[in-house]
């Protein structure tokens, strides 16, 4: 939720935020986006491995929002596409 709020405040032209994946907060995020009338936030949900490369190619940065994770495979994938990565110190690959 913090990432959506930060995106809302960012003064960047032609910005868009795509948050891939499903989780317990997805419905709350969808409601917040609707209530706040935030444009250009896309929550496509789960993306199959055969399709995920399209999202990395279209991205400028990977932000891993997990509060903790043993090892985020998405970090390896993003590195493969030479994307900068933002994550917190509770991620095993930090």
Please state the pTM of the whole predicted model. 0.85
CA–CA dist 19, 46 (Å, integer) = 10
CA-CA-CA-CA torsion sign (65, 55, 9, 23)? negative
In the chain, where the domains are located: 16-46, 48-94
For residues 18-34, average pLDDT: 95
Six-digit token string for 30 = 């969808």
**94 pLDDT exceeds 80?**
no
What are the residues facing 94 on neighbouring strands? none
Q: What is the pLDDT of residues 39-76, one digit of tens each?
A: 999 999 999 999 999 999 999 999 998 887 888 789 99
């Amino acid at each position: 939720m913090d990432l959506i709020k930060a995106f809302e405040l960012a003064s960047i032209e032609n910005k868009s935020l795509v948050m891939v994946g499903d989780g317990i907060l997805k419905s709350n995020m969808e409601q917040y986006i609707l209530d706040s009338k935030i444009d250009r936030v896309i929550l496509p949900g789960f993306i199959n491995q055969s399709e995920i490369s399209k999202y990395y190619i279209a991205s400028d940065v990977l932000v891993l929002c997990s509060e903790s994770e043993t090892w985020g495979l998405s970090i390896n994938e993003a590195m493969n596409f030479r994307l900068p990565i933002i994550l917190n110190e509770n991620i095993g690959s930090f």
